[in-house]
Structure 1
Amino acid sequence: MKNKIIPYNPKLKEFARQLRKNSTLSEVLLWEKLKQRSMGVQFHRQVPLLEYIVDFYCHELQLAIEIDGVSHDFKYDKDQQREHQLEKVGVHLLRLQDQEVKSNMFSVLMSIKETIAQMQHKDPNLNAEKTPLKSPQGDNSFPKKEKLTHKTIFEKLFSEGKTLKEFPVKLIYLNTSFPDAVPVKVAVVAPKKKFKKAVERNRIKRLLREAYRLNKPLIFNNIEGNYAFIFLYLGKKDPDFRQVEIAMKTLLKAFVNKEFHEKID
């Protein structure tokens, strides 16, 4: 399959070259795992696309990988716009947390492998090595259709939902139904009373979403029916991603065990 050429601003070429020479620690660590077709596909570093430069890019899959550091907590809207523009030209963007790359490379690589496998599954003409999926739903993406936006379901969750707690995260869930038959729709909440600044709440919500995204196969491969989830942050201080991810994994396993009597190791 011929790689699709994505146009870019030629003025970015020199800047991209400089970025390659001045990589962050997390970029260096991840590049060691991606280079020389280690994932079965070819990645390149600091690639200009449109008016942007992405950290890593696979031309044959049109897959971009971005490592979000602390600075991204202050530019959520710009990141969303960037992602939207890239998606319009067919680029799939996978976001990773800087701290996650440094401290939990195993989960990072699993996420990348699952994403590659999912994209190859959709396009059998790709020449890269194929990796079968456990389930079409069992990937580590977090598409818009899986985000909970129904106001009435929100209200029912808080009035009728069941709860599970694993500090610093609380899961409120409800067996329901959706018009598009998505198995699980998710919302994340960082309370305004504890975190006055929007940037603090956005960072916490980003961590909750990322922790869920990385561990969602635990439920998608075991779930029956349709569920609405709200993940509520209970802590009083900015969380550590590792702590949030451990809590998330524990909650998802507990949910499956409680609702479907399936024990997950």
Structure 2
Amino acid sequence: MSEKVLINDRLINREEASFSFDDRSMYFGDGIYEVIRIYGGFPFQMEMHMQRFQRSAEELDIPFDYDVKQSLTNSLLELLKENGLNEGIIYVQLSRGSADRNHLYERHTEPLIFAFTKPMERPQQAMSEGIATYLTEDERWLRCDIKTVNLLGNVMAKRKAADHDCQEALLHRGDLMTEGSSSNLFIIKGDVVQTHPANNYILNGITRQLVLDYIEEHGKSVVFEPIQVEDMKNIDEAFITSTTSEITPIVEFRGTVHHKLTVGPLTKSLQKRFNEDVVKTEQGE
């Protein structure tokens, strides 16, 4: 059976899918996206993803109202069912649409939606053993709260991390940490958990939001302040969060700061709590 993709409101065979090279996402990165995790054939926290998707569209002045959101949600569920994906992701993208190349966009352009599914296993080894990270300057734009497809700053940082045998880049603006190239950052010192506040310098990750709830359940306090780069040498635990990395411990910093860590007890406890929600999703709850 041929794999299906979604183009606007139509499910078609992947090999038949096409769209205009005049699409503004090609010229300007003028679009947004979401990645939704699938566990046991069911989407994880889909409504949270769709709410953020709608917010991103509104921030970029791309038409996307409640009715479109509901229709797209139904189409994505149909795509998931059609492809029979058990473990993986749905990638969904919304662009401003096709028009002659011009920095000034017109508001009458018809937006383009496309989506596909992709098998993906959970990162069990990384979550168990931890990863090495590379600290580097944050060179992205100033609206990181919008999940735009324009990701060159993230891409270049991730490449730099890989060139130093690290699995993620941790970004800082001057002497203040922001987040990972494709993740949010948490550090732990004593009984205090610290993470960057949800503002324009970071993406307010879905997994990040869940972890904040879990931390509250654990009776821990959270400091919402940027982490000083130099303070990264003096912490007890650190981990990243994202849809695909879930809760992944950090065991080494390289680059701007050099420091080694072990996978700590709070990180493990939060992973266990996250897995409880995964199991509920797998059971269709």
* TM-score over 0.5 (shorter chain): no
* TM-score, normalised by the number of residues in structure 2: 0.25
Higher relative contact order (CA 8 A, sep 6+): 2
Q: Which has the higher strand share?
A: 2
* TM-score, normalised by the number of residues in structure 1: 0.26
